[in-house]
Structure 1
Amino acid sequence: MVSTLSHIREIERVGMGAVSPRDAPVVQSWLRCLNDYKLDPTIAQEAYIVPELKLREHREQAEELIRIGRSGLETLFNQIAEQNYVLLLSDARGVTVDFMGDPTFDNQLRRAGLYLGSEWSENRAGTCAVGACLVSGEPVIIHQDDHFDTSHIGLTCTAAPIFDTLGSLTAVLDISQLRSPTAKASQQLALHLVASTTRRIELANLMTRTRNDWVLRLARSPEFLDVDPDAAIALDGSGRITGMTHGGFGALARAMDLGGLSTRDVLGQSISQVFDIDVDDLPRFMRGRPNGERLLRARNGLVLFASAIAPAVNLRSPATPEPRVPRALRDLSRGDAAMERMLARAAKLAAKNIPILIQGETGSGKEYLARAIHDGCGGEGNFVAVNCAAVPEHLIESELFGYTPGAFTGASQKGKRGLIEEANGGTLFLDEIGDMPLALQSRLLRVLSENEVQPVGALKARPVRLRVLSASHRDLAELVKEGRFRQDLYYRLNAATLALPALREREDLGWLIDQLLSRIEKENGEIYRIDKAARAALSGYDWPGNLRELSNALRVAAALSEGGLIDLDCLPEHLFAESTTDTSQDDDDLRQALRNCGNNVSALARRLGVDRSTIHRRLKRLN
């Protein structure tokens, strides 16, 4: 054991800026003791035991945690008792509210502070495992002369934090010895045991407090999924994350590339923002299926095993239920405000047989939205898509309306059923309706007004019942003014309008990238990862071709990747070809406009007539 004098001198050297070979948590704690708490390493402090009345208050406040954790604490103590460890459970103020130790050594343990009622806050006791853990929120070993106070340098202490379901550090579990081997490495097993126990206590606490929520247990291997999972999260009836085992989930979050987020940041998010599932998928993760088949994919591609536990009372909706958006529509967005508003509107329209005009730039996903509306209204009948700009003008009539045998030169002798009839009982989606010839617009109007279709060469019309969705990237109202689109057809198609935002305006671009990449993975049978630089390049590009361009870029990148890693070299060259000279003046104008608004983004957005998110995205690109 080191001498008291050499220990004091080492602390003083660290305080003067000397480099120390000790672990970073120890050095950081020493500096807090010197600089923040103004503790003097030359003055030894006896262990402090709070008065009986004060201890009773601390224990009463921690009563439920003590009760919930009792089984885990007893199991741990049975594992370590023969090695002369004592077990301390301290509250968030560092006071020991539960204690297990050999009563034979009561007097020695009490003098050392390894006893019920001892206070191990860092500002009182100096560097110690409980205090350092309370400050850092991380498991820690404070071994012998790692301690700041010379009266504690014979002890070895190992501690891990316990968080409540909302991410607040609520307690610390510590196991300590009066005497131990000199090597600090001797305590690594102790660290593992303490961390494992705190994980189980957090799980027991989550299960106790979330009886009316779903609980999803997560593990990296299937063997201990139902008995000792790595982490667990609680979900309300709408699929929002209401709580979690923060210690365990934090470790998984780092493996899921969520390292920039604290576990608290995940609270309130939809489960589908973190994993590739929805609340409606939870029943398939319940017991009854082999553990090895209950697989869950995180947004970054990490595969985990999952086990779902249904609520004790099945509360499927919050107190003020949100409008039900069918999953087919929900799956088109993850958090973009403009998309969420549009999809909520689409969900209401999907329940009614109302003609809808979808407007948006080429490649922005108009057909995806149309198909989701069809699926969201029950999906009965066929979904038939017609690109009016892609079908040659001389064929579009026969394609749409069909024809009788021998109706014209070159016609099939069997005749042909038109696409409008193929959509009977379902949905007809007319993409790029603005490119439909005027002559055919009159015939389409008759279909919509009379609910009947007459094939080319037929003498009688046939009844049809269908939903008509149309889309265009062009301004149909302007085409009406120019006489290139029938006004009566425009009003017939435009009972309701849905506007799709361009990809460059969306706040959920990262999620869209992951979704498209996931589809490519399924097609290719491979797993791909995007490094930070490549993801930044994808996020910073303006995407004039929208989703179609993004999908093509990712397909190229996947084909060029080595070992599934997509880096900058894998991305198409045109993503980097934009000239900054054309935008520099606009950028300066934006900065000046922001200054003129007192650096108030909301005021600038109102002045420009755009959403605040548009300003934030532009500023982010300007750093």
Structure 2
Amino acid sequence: MSARSHVEEIARVAMGARSRRDAPVVRSWLRCINDYRLDPAAAQEAYIVPETILKEHREQAEELIRIGRSGLERLFGHVAEQNYVLLLSDARGVTVDFMGDPTFDNQLRRAGLYLGSEWSESRAGTCAVGACIVSGEPVVIHQDDHFDTSHIGLTCTAAPIFDTLGDLTAVLDISQLRSPTAKASQHLALHLVSTTARRIELANLMARARNDWVLRLARSPDFLDVDPDCAVALDGAGRVTGMTHGGLRALSGFLGLDGPSTGTLVGQPISRFLDLEVDDLPRLMRGRPDGERVVRTRGGFALFASAIAPPASFRGVPQRRPAVPRALRELSFGDPAMDAVAQRAAKLAARDIPILIQGETGTGKEVLARAIHDSRPNPGRFVAVNCAAIPEQLVESELFGYAPGAFTGAAARGKPGLIELADGGTLFLDEIGDMPLLLQSRLLRVLAEGEVTPVGGGRAKPVRFRLVSASHRGIEAMVAAGRFREDLWYRLAAATLKLPPLRARTDFQGLVDHLLERIGRETGETPRLGPGVRMALAAHRWPGNVRELVNVLKVAAALCDDGTITLGDLPEGLAATATPPEPVGDTLALLAAAGGNVSELARRLGVDRSTVHRRLRRERGDA
């Protein structure tokens, strides 16, 4: 095809004419015209970034280059005789690793098939690397599929490489300066580059999961250890810490999930998807017959499985953090601060050590207290007392009980107090900072002597209970001000657990999904979030924390139609946050607040990942 006829064809496509081209090619041409304002008639020579810029890109991709090197050499060994060139580009389209015949160096450099070449779609137009970055899909861009006429002699085949959290991190491309005329001739090239990309993802997962189990899943045992359908990293508590991108797709198909992202699965217990607990992993290790290495999805679908223990394991048993009981494990969905609270609480749960839980109102202090109680072998009764909710004149009789005839209006038989009812179980004193000073003295005596004396009674009763207290107030400041007994403070706070506010948690999306599922169990129908709702929820400051979020979701679920929560079902203040202005100059800060996770930031902003990458490039001055 001549350059003139090529430009005319692109112009017809831009005007809406039907095309014989593959859909990915047409979509890329339209992006070049409409989004990047590129002119197909203005041929651009391939661009090689300056040496100093290339050095920065290679340093940032150093670990991936190292991990993927053996896979690249193996692939190049298969295709070198057909005069293919191999390019490994980073997520911005800059070639950070290159393999080719050195006798063609000059030609390859002029064509852009060289170290340091930039193949971003916004600069080079339609090309395999650029189209792959935008779509996240393997693609063949053959000869005049290219947008720029200076590239129409090339044939290029590329596949994406995703990191363990689901973000596109690199693109693997094999290209030829001159190629066969038929595009179908590149089917083998597409298979080879896609397979190598999957293997690099698996190697990257193995390298990053040094302290975790790796679970490989496949529909056939023949490919389980070589090219599994899915590979998932699991921590010592059995929660997903990462996976291969193919693993995400496989899980979606196996489990019937509708378009999940890796970010929504990370932090979730594997038992949510498979009939499998972390303690079952050793039986899935190599050396056992294939017939015994089978797991089932929650829907009953059978998969062959292979588990690889962390390198630090001893005789197949992982050296991991102490097992976290289910009640505590379900408090976190991947937030590091909540994970730390759960780990600490798990160590304290089996011991009779008084625990003080601190945190803002609504952060879930009673939920944590109940989880600690439920984590004990023989927990007994859980008795909760809200010291701020009982009228001051009744607190004493409620806590300590009263003898028959102790005061006017007292029951004839007397009444046991809440402390006595907690005997053998857990006493949870919520908002302990609101307890009057006089009662603080009586409580201190109970804790010191292990017995309680009812109001109006002269005979003490022995009691033994686990004490957990909580407050949103700064008790230490109250002690300094003389409003709380110092000796009681030391009795209550032998160990302290501090809950983070909801606005500081990084597992907000996982928590929302969990609460929606809980609402679904209560009502029989799990509500879905409509367009913009997730962004509106993420943008809210949540002064009432988890309690406020629960109430908002319950009300919205009751108001919504057809099981889909829309912005109109949210309180007015939340709905107003759904369309914030596009951030200018702060995407890097927002990315840091999202833990560096591009997918998480895209969910918070209500945009796709390519939009986030585009804003980041603009702020960094790369485009």
Instruction: Give CA deviations for 1:399-445 in whole Å, capped at 9, x if unaligned.
Output: 43345667667666766543323323332111122343454333322
Does the C-alpha gap of structure 1 residues 34 and 276 become closer, same or farther in structure 2, counting only changes over 3 Å?
farther
Specify the alignment match of 2:542 in structure 1.
Answer: 543
Shift of 1:572: 2.3
Q: Which residue of 1 aligns with 2:296?
A: 291
* Corresponding residue SS for 1:293: coil
Where 2:233 maps in the other structure, the secondary structure is: strand
TM-score with structure 2 setting the length: 0.59
- State the Cα distance separating 1:492 from its structure 2 match: 3.0
CA distance in 1, matches of 2:234, 2:175: 27
Q: CA deviation at 1:238?
A: 6.5
Within 5 Å, which residues of 2 pair with 1:124-523? 132-134=127-129, 136-137=131-132, 138-142=137-141, 146=145, 159=157, 161=159, 163=161, 168-169=170-171, 214-216=213-215, 231-235=230-234, 237=236, 244-247=243-246, 249=248, 271-272=267-268, 281-282=277-278, 291-293=296-298, 309-311=306-308, 315-316=312-313, 328-329=327-328, 331-334=330-333, 339=338, 346=345, 350=349, 353-375=352-374, 380-393=379-392, 395-403=394-402, 416-456=415-455, 459-476=458-475, 485-523=484-522
After superposition, the Cα gap between the structure-2 partners of 1:490 and 1:313, relative to the gap in structure 1 and judged at 3 Å, is: closer
| One-letter amino acid of the counterpart of residue 526, structure 1 | E
* Residues 1:8 and 1:63: Cα distance change in structure 2 (over 3 Å): closer
Q: Percent identity?
A: 45
Instruction: Tell me, in whole angstroms, the C-alpha distance in 1 between the residues paired with 2:535 and 2:387.
Output: 37
1:442–1:514 distance in 2 versus 1, CA, 3 Å: same
**1:345-389 residue CA offsets vs partner (Å, 9 max, x unmatched):** 656655654333333333222212323343456563333211223
- Pairwise CA RMSD: 6.2
Change in CA separation of 1:38 and 1:435 when aligned onto 2, cut-off 3 Å: closer
The whole-number CA distance in structure 1 between the counterparts of 2:298 and 2:468 is: 40
1:37 aligned partner: 46
2:425 and 2:561 mapped to 1: Cα distance? 44
Tell me the residue number matched to 1:301.
none
User: Are residues 569 and 123 of structure 1, via their aligned partners in 2, closer, same or farther at CA, if it must alter by over 3 Å?
Assistant: same
Q: 2:3 aligns with which of 5, 8, 13?
A: 8
Q: What residue ranges of structure 2 are gaps of 5+ in the alignment?
A: 33-37, 49-68, 89-96, 120-125, 285-291, 578-583, 590-600, 606-614, 616-623
Which residue in 1 is equivalent to 2:533? 534
Paired residue type of 1:11: H
Give the match for residue 123 of structure 1. Answer: 112
Deviation at 1:449, TM superposition (A): 0.7
- Kindly state the Cα deviation for residue 523 of structure 1 after the two structures are TM-superposed: 1.5
| Number of aligned residues | 505
CA shift for structure 1 position 240: 7.8
Contact kept, 8 Å, 1:225 with 1:306, in 2: the verdict is no
* CA distance in structure 1 between the partners assigned to 2:532 and 2:213 by the alignment: 37
Q: 1:86-123: per-residue Cα shift (whole Å, max 9, x none)?
A: 999967578699xxxxxxxxxxxxxxx9xxxx999963
C-alpha deviation, 1:483, in angstroms = 6.7
Q: Residue 103 of structure 1 corresponds to which residue in structure 2?
A: none
Aligned partners of 1:206 and 1:243 also within 8 Å: no
The question of whether the paired residues in 1 share the 8 Å contact of 2:502 and 2:545 is answered with yes
Q: Measure, in 1, the Cα distance between the counterparts of 2:376 and 2:483.
A: 33
How far off its partner does 1:467 sit?
Answer: 2.5
Deviations 1:161-204 (A, max 9, x none): 37498765456699x99676xxx8x8999999789867886798
Q: 1:498 to 1:290 in 2, by over 3 A?
A: closer
Report the Cα offset of residue 336 of structure 1.
Answer: 5.0
Compared CA separation, residues 94 and 256, structure 1 to 2 (3 A): farther
User: Could you tell me how far 1:448 is from its partner in structure 2?
Assistant: 0.5
- Deviation of the 1:451 alpha carbon: 1.0
Larger Rg: 1
For residue 577 of structure 1, report the CA deviation from its aligned partner. Answer: 8.2
* Separation (CA, whole Å) in 2 of partners of 1:405 and 1:560: 50
- Give the Cα–Cα distance (whole angstroms) in 1 for the partners of residues 195 and 479 of structure 2: 71
How much has 1:9 moved relative to structure 2? 1.8
Would you say the 8 A contact 1:162–1:173 is kept in 2? no
Structure 1 residues 382 and 250: CA distance shift in structure 2, 3 A? same
